[in-house]
């Protein structure tokens, strides 16, 4: 039987606020255990939560970026369960009237465009961390993370493969960083996914029983966990079994999912409106202000690059995958508007190769878009060949890397002419002077009588060999088009 | 809607409240009374009224996003039963 995989994702994004969602404690990562857990986070008697405006503002921005409805009023609710890393005995979350409702995210898988619908995005607080090792049979509790603001983004079950799910997750990851509401750091847990996976016979309208895989903190694990889980469910169904609805964990070492030991009543959270928090009212003026502060969104930019520069959808997707690349590209092409494709090729090819080698991001790139644009300009106006340009680039990179300041953090325009300086000082300019080229070519023709004869006998290959000799003699600096032309003229004369 | 003894036992368990056999019966009677009251209220047509989420008709006050707390973990941990390396120790929990 043909099976269809159905996937919905819940993405937990940690909002990039300075302080916690309901207290004035810091959210900075990596502090000593419990140094950032204040009386509110510890749920000491008598404390009350006070909502952080910055967390709400980030949620509004997300809502606007995905074309969702921003609810006002919006209600906070208690989600009740007992666990030592949750000192209150409930998590403050949202149930009815989440701050963001609906909206869509567009993904591109190959040439196919697909719209993933969102159910909602709600604000909630994170729990603390439990450490199970090394405490002589006890569990250690660190409450620094307790009360960190999260936006949980819930999609409809609109994805049909692990590839679509990963593409969607990457899109959301890129979007939350793009609009500056989350740093997206997956190692530090700022972006985590839960995947709801079910399977059904192809063509069936009814959803199968789903399993939820919790806490996937890398795109690779997300993909592998979904693939494993779908295979597991299909095998059970093909053997005539039924799927138990359950929460599962992915084990990357064994590449499998397994059921979490869960009590039968674990899912009964007895949500009710939190009497400690009044309804959240979001004025139209607040939404309008958030809207005017939003940057051009990736999808809008993608369409603009395609329309204005005629770039392929492959190029535009890559250039808008990340706000840093997008900004770098925009700044480069602004200096070289006559060749957007050449800019795209270098920003997607040569530059990331160097950045990856040094684990740098586009924001921390030592070469500025202005410097890159000058180099590309010299290819375009024929001063240097593409091959020599790579050599110049290498030298530009090592020169710029010595200063070690990222282009974004320096305002000096001193080195804008770095490419020209290197080309000039090392005499890398292409030989375009026809007199000089002609004498080089004459020399090669005189020294390679055999090749010349072969060419005259109709062997086209011999021509390439001769051109190669000229390039060698010119140490790569001859203009290839010009050499071709002169060589052919001389041989056919 | 009527409540059973099993419902009461289950709710008590979820809330981590230990009830004796007698107390379960008392709680059932009391809770059933409350349910009766709710039933009475449900006779009123509220279809045109927005549900009330809070008894006070005012909006949530917000605070600016600023760090106002300092590290006081030593003070807080002075009353904790067991602490090690800055962590609160609790009986082992495994998922």
- Digitized pLDDT (tens) for each residue of chain A, 493 residues in all: 899 999 999 999 999 999 999 999 999 999 999 999 999 999 999 999 999 999 999 999 999 999 999 999 999 999 998 899 999 999 999 999 999 999 999 998 877 889 999 999 999 999 999 988 778 889 999 999 999 999 999 999 999 999 999 999 999 999 999 999 999 999 899 999 999 999 999 999 999 999 999 989 999 999 999 999 999 999 999 999 999 888 899 999 999 998 885 545 556 888 999 999 999 999 999 999 999 999 999 989 999 999 999 999 889 989 998 889 999 999 999 999 999 999 999 999 999 999 999 888 898 898 999 999 999 999 888 888 888 899 899 999 988 877 768 887 776 666 888 888 888 888 778 777 777 788 888 888 888 888 888 888 888 888 888 888 888 888 777 877 888 888 888 887 7
**Residue of A319, A287, A290, A289 lying closest to A302 (CA atoms):** A319
The Cα–Cα gap between A383 and A374 comes to: 11
Q: Tokens representing B35?
A: 């349910």
CB contact under 8 A, A19 and B77: no
Q: Are A123 and A94 in contact (CB under 8 A)?
A: yes
The residue written with tokens 């969607």 in the block is A168
Query: How deeply is B61 buried, as exposed, middle or buried, from its count of CB atoms within 10 A (0-12, 13-18, 19+)?
Result: exposed
pLDDT (tens digit per residue) in A48-74:
999 999 999 999 999 999 999 999 999
- At residue A228, the 3 state secondary structure works out as helix
The Cα–Cα gap between A384 and A429 comes to: 6
Predicted model pTM: 0.83
- Regarding an ipTM greater than 0.95, the answer is no
Q: Please list the alpha-helical segments (H only) found in A99-248.
A: 162-178, 219-238
The residue written with tokens 């809502």 in the block is A63
The residue written with tokens 């966990």 in the block is A225
Contacts of A288 (CB under 8 A, 6+ apart): none
- First CA to last CA across chain B, in angstroms? 36
At residue A269's C-alpha, the angle toward residues A265 and A270, to 5°, is 110
Q: Tokens representing A247?
A: 């929460």
- Beta strands A211-216 and A191-201, pairing class: antiparallel
The Cα–Cα gap between A90 and A376 comes to: 58
Residues in chain A closer than 8 A to B62 (CB atoms): 50-53, 56
Q: Are B35 and A24 in contact (CB under 8 A)?
A: no
Write the residue in B14, B89, B92 that is nearest to A268 by C-beta.
B14
Q: Tell me, yes or no, if B46 comes closer than 8 A to chain A by beta carbon.
A: no
Q: Tell me, yes or no, if B45 comes closer than 8 A to chain A by beta carbon.
A: no
Write the residue in A19, A140, A281 that is nearest to B67 by C-beta.
A19
**What part of A 10-29 touches B (C-beta under 8 Å)?**
17-19, 23-26
Query: How deeply is B33 buried, as exposed, middle or buried, from its count of CB atoms within 10 A (0-12, 13-18, 19+)?
Result: exposed
CATH class of A434-492: mainly alpha
Write the residue in B15, B58, B87 that is nearest to A142 by C-beta.
B87
The correct answer on CATH 3.40.50 for the domain covering B5-43 is no
- At residue A59, the 3 state secondary structure works out as helix
- At residue A115, the 3 state secondary structure works out as strand
Per-domain residue ranges for chain A? 3-285, 296-425, 434-492
The Cα–Cα gap between A76 and A123 comes to: 8
At residue A134's C-alpha, the angle toward residues A129 and A139, to 5°, is 40
The Cα–Cα gap between A45 and A38 comes to: 12
The Cα–Cα gap between A61 and A4 comes to: 34
């Amino acid at each position: 039987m043909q099976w269809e995989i159905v996937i919905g994702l819940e993405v937990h994004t940690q909002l990039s606020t300075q302080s916690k969602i309901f207290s004035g404690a810091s959210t900075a990562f990596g502090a000593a255990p419990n140094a950032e857990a204040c009386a509110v986070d510890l749920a000491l008697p008598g404390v009350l939560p006070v909502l952080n405006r910055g967390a709400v503002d980030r949620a509004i921005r997300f809502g606007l970026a995905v074309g969702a409805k921003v609810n006002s009023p919006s209600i906070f609710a208690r989600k009740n369960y007992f666990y030592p890393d949750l000192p209150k005995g409930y998590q403050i979350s949202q149930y009815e009237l989440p701050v963001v409702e609906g909206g869509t995210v567009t993904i591109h898988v190959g040439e196919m465009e697909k719209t993933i619908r969102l159910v909602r995005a709600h604000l909630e607080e994170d729990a603390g961390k439990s450490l199970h090792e090394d405490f002589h049979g006890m569990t250690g509790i660190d409450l620094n993370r307790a009360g960190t603001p999260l936006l949980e983004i819930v999609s409809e079950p609109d994805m049909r493969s692990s590839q679509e799910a990963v593409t969607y997750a990457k899109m959301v990851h890129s979007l939350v960083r793009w609009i500056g509401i989350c740093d997206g750091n997956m190692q530090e847990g700022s972006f985590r996914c839960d995947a709801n996976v079910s399977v059904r016979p192809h063509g069936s309208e009814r959803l199968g029983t789903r399993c939820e895989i919790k806490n996937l903190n890398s795109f690779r694990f997300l993909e592998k966990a979904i693939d494993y889980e779908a295979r597991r469910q299909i095998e059970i169904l093909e053997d005539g079994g039924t799927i138990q609805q359950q929460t599962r964990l992915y084990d990357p070492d064994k590449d499998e999912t397994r059921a979490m030991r869960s009590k039968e009543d674990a899912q009964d959270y007895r949500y009710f409106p939190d009497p400690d928090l009044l309804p959240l009212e979001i004025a139209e003026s607040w939404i309008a202000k958030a809207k005017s502060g939003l940057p051009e969104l990736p999808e809008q930019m993608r369409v603009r690059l395609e329309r204005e520069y005629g770039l392929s959808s492959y190029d535009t997707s890559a250039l808008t995958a990340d706000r840093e690349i997008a900004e770098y590209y925009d700044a480069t092409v602004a200096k070289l508007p006559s060749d957007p494709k050449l800019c795209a090729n270098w920003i997607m090819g040569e530059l990331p190769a160097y950045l990856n080698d040094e684990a740098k991001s586009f924001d921390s790139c030592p070469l500025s878009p202005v410097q890159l644009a000058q180099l590309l300009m010299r290819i375009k106006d024929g001063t240097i060949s593409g091959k020599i340009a790579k050599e110049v680039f290498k030298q530009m990179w090592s020169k710029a890397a010595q200063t070690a300041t990222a282009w974004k953090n320096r305002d000096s325009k001193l080195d804008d002419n770095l490419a020209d300086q290197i080309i000039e000082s090392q005499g890398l300019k292409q030989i375009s002077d026809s007199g000089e080229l002609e004498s080089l070519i004459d020399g090669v023709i005189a020294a390679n009588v055999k090749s010349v004869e072969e060419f005259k006998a109709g062997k086209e290959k011999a021509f390439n060999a001769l051109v190669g000799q000229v390039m060698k003699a010119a140490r790569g600096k001859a203009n290839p088009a010009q050499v071709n032309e002169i060589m052919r003229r001389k041989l056919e004369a | 809607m009527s409540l059973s003894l099993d419902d009461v036992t289950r709710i008590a368990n979820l809330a981590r409240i230990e009830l004796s056999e007698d107390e379960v019966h008392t709680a059932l009677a009391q809770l059933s009374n409350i349910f009766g009251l709710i039933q009475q209220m449900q006779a009123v047509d509220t279809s045109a009224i927005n549900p009330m989420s809070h008894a006070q008709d005012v909006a949530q006050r917000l605070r600016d996003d600023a760090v106002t707390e300092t590290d006081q973990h030593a003070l807080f941990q002075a009353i904790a039963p067991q602490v090690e390396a800055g962590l609160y120790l609790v009986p082992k929990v495994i998922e």
